[in-house]
Structure 1
Amino acid sequence: MLNLNSVAFSYGHQSVLDDISLNIETGQIACLLGPSGCGKSTLLRLIAGFEQPQNGEIRIAAKLVANNSHSIAPQNRQVGMLFQDLALFPHLSVTQNIAFGLHQLSQSEQQHRVDELLQLCRLQAFKSRYPHQLSGGQKQRVALARAMAPKPNLILLDEPFSSVETGLQSELVHEVKSMLQADQSTALWVTHSLDEAFAVADQMGVILGGKLLQWAKPQELYDQPAHPDVISFLNHANLISGDIKQDGSIETPLGCFVLNNQADFKTQDCAQIGVQKRQIHIHPAGTPNATIIQSVYQGGQYVLTAVLNNKDSIQLFHPSPVESGSQVHLKIEHESNFRGF
């Protein structure tokens, strides 16, 4: 449904996006993760037609909508957009807001689609209200219903819950996902929230500094990160340094491990591996290879920060606190091949 091929964009001499390629299939919900200023909102503007790429191609439903010499107007791209500020029309009722983009339909067709969305989004009881009479969650559902109303090929969601109180965000995430799926919508969802992305995404990617570092299924992104900056951004694993041995394995303070990309390190002396925090445990036996420097309680468990013998700082989970300064023996459980960086 959406295909980006080597898309690049700059403001003057400042590069904002560089060589972005991704594909979203019909009916999928995809998420782009990244911090503020990484280029993810600019990418949405390119897809929607508010900006034009200097390089690359954007295709929606197999149709070329933009490259460096061609750009279809936003209103002709069949793209719906849910903005951060929702942009509801304050002088229009819920029904009128939803029907705003349906002027090309007959009155009976408009009414049928609006009724369908009022039911889908659980807004029947509020159809005559105005935006100022709605809660934050209700406004969110109205804005989504309005974006979905014309049955666009693609819906873009730009940080849709940034203005919603934290306690309501989780509930709304699942509601919006259910509504999109029920209407068989294809969506690209931009967020900086890991929890939000993992809750909704069929495909997801991490974008940092204008570069898409990885585009994959959520489990693959989590378990098999392709870039050290993805590991750092997800913050679920540690980067541990080691020396490359002649057989292609890597020797670290926590043991010697086979690299699943040995060929990449034939001419290198050292590398890093990503080890998930939950894989590292304290063992009572063994020569100390780390010093605990901090224990922080975090909902049913402690997050320990330790410094390895090679000076790498790592974190692991533990059921009880450990005194700062304690010398411990750490070991990796469920050992497997690791990717080297």
Structure 2
Amino acid sequence: MAALLGRVALLQAFQARTAARNGSCRSAAALFCFRHSGKVSGGPGAPTRPYSSDLKDDLRVRYLDGDDAGIVVIGMNRPKAKNAISRNLVNMMFDAVEDIKKNNKVRSVIICSLVPGIFCAGADLKERAKMEKSEVGAFVSKARGLITELGNLPVPTIAAIDGAALGGGLEMALACDIRISSNTAKMGLVETRLAIIPGGGGTQRLPRVIGVSLAKELIFAARVVDGTEAYRLKLVSHSVEQNKSGDAAYLRALELAREINPQGPIAIRMAKLAVNQGIEVDLATGLAIEEACYAQVIPTKDRLEGLAAFKEKRRPHYKGE
């Protein structure tokens, strides 16, 4: 059990420097501001998005500040490739995940797209076509490892699906704790169309989310469903009507992250661990895991702060200690 808890022990925090965020980024144009951060652009709803072709812009990571401090937004940004999963994107996401793991100030993570109408189209098949056979297996293994690391983040992760999430894109979303989609988003594990199978955990995570029989049906038929159907299947927790700026799922994800933010951060991490580990074992073992996780919150200052705030009828101020 000690080894189990050691996997998610809080690491020492490092100070993340972020650009100042003006008040308009807290409005309905929050994702728009993120898309254009550091670039010349029009006002909310402007149709032109001046993307850079520089590889360093394939992923943008933003540590929010002010009242939203503790929320991290990871934005995929490969418009020409429909956010397809490339070697560079995998490497950048690994770096982002490692930074988040080292920062105990992080309360939640939102994974979204900065490209309108797309979440992630899956593997970058153009790049893969240039790989030697020996390279393909290694790349798929690394991409699978990234998705696993994403799933193992100790803080809540929310996938904001405002567009197509296909193949590896949906597998990435399945690794998140919570999925929110727009009603117009498209989702599916479509690998059998290419005579392959989902290789980023889809054959394992999808059945755990929607059940074995339905998961087999969707995988075997390479079926794509919209956000409304995904909600009916319990593939997503929320399906929201898409807005004119194309970021409805992101805005709902931000609302949810703001609900999570004030809660006890150590308690949230332990609750996630208890659920994730407990769901894979029998009930008796799961209860033992819960007991061990509960033991980790008893000596914390946050627990005492929660009791004091309740007694004094005020809002608690948790520090993750």
Q: TM-score, normalised by structure 2?
A: 0.29
Larger strand fraction of residues: 1
Larger helix fraction of residues: 2
